[in-house]
């Protein structure tokens, strides 16, 4: 599960990284929590800020993640499979269980550069797709957000490419090693995902 991430980069750097004509809007604070606004990039559309978490009638909390393995089976996600987006990120957070304690980890690429999660959008909000973890972070959690290889990003958001042609991209990230930095001392427990703490 991915429940918090950061996008700590300047608009000009994001424009260069993703080949954008103009610097995109950026959130007011680097750390993004569920329901916050975050930058997304869609094929054929201007980059924009969008709310994190799909609103559904059957759950009071927004759906912030979608499992790659069951996207075609879920009525919530099936209509969105052609509405794909990139979610630019510099770091995401995951909590590792250590007995009764939960230890917060900052996870990103060894290069410490900007990368992109695979996402789906309903036009107003987005969700992040998850998959099994890469080997170098499997000890932290049994899921991770899908990090797309850079060369795969344009294909993921290409509106002319059907989902069946890109579903194979939803795999653990292996383009480069991932780094994990664990907080010391560890927090007493994972905070409420929807709180400001």
Q: 143-173 burial string, b = 16+ CB within 10 Å, else e?
A: bbbbbbbeebbeebbeeeeebeebeebbebb
Residue 191 has pLDDT above 80, yes or no: no
Q: In what order do the strands lie in the sheet with 101-109?
A: 31-32, 4-6, 91-98, 101-109, 178-182
More confident residue, 184 or 79: 79
- Decide: residue 196, CB within 10 A, 0-12 exposed, 13-18 middle, 19+ buried: exposed
The pTM score is 0.91
Q: How confident is the model at residue 186 (pLDDT cuts 50, 70, 90)?
A: very low
Encoded tokens for 190: 């994972």
Specify which residues 77 forms β-bridges with.
none
pLDDT tens-digit series, residues 140-162? 999 999 999 999 999 999 999 99
Structural domains of the chain sorted by starting position, each given as residue range(s) with its CATH number in brackets: 4-182 (3.90.1680.10)
pLDDT of residue 185: 62
- Please state whether beta strands 91-98 and 101-109 pair in parallel, antiparallel, or not at all (unpaired): antiparallel
pLDDT band at 106; cut points 50, 70, 90? very high
Asked whether 31 and 109 are in contact (CB, 8 A), the reply is no
The predicted model gives 33-62 an average pLDDT of 95
Q: Are 158 and 41 in contact (CB under 8 A)?
A: no
Q: Which of 6-15, 21-30, 103-112, 177-186 has the weakest average pLDDT?
A: 177-186
Q: Which residue has the higher pLDDT, 40 or 28?
A: 40
Q: Which of 97, 87, 113, 89 is nearest to 182 (CA)?
A: 97
Asked whether residue 196 carries a pLDDT value surpassing 60, the answer given is no
Interval 109-135 mean pLDDT? 96
In sequence order, the 6+-apart residues with CB closer than 8 A to the CB of 194 are: 33, 34, 35, 61
Query: What is the b/e burial string over 14-47, where b = at least 16 CB atoms within 10 angstroms of the residue's CB?
Result: beebbeeeeebebeeeeebbbebbbbbbbbeeeb
């Amino acid at each position: 599960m991915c429940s918090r991430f950061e996008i700590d980069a300047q608009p000009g750097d994001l424009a260069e990284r993703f080949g954008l004509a103009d610097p995109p809007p950026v959130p007011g604070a680097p750390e993004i929590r569920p329901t916050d606004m975050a930058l997304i990039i869609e094929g054929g559309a201007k980059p924009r800020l969008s709310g994190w978490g799909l609103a559904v009638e059957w759950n009071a909390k927004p759906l912030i993640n979608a499992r790659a393995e069951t996207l075609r089976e879920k009525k919530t996600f099936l209509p969105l499979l052609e509405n794909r987006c990139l979610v630019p990120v510099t770091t995401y957070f995951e909590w590792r269980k250590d007995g009764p304690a939960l230890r917060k980890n900052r996870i990103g690429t060894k290069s410490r550069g900007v990368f992109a999660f695979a996402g789906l959008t309903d036009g107003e909000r987005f969700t992040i797709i998850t998959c099994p973890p890469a080997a170098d972070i499997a000890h932290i959690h049994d899921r991770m957000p899908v990090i797309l290889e850079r060369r795969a990003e344009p294909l993921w958001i290409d509106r002319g490419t059907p989902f069946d042609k890109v579903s194979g991209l939803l795999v653990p990230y292996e383009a480069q090693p991932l780094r994990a930095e664990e907080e010391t001392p560890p927090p007493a427990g994972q905070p409420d995902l929807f709180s400001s703490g």
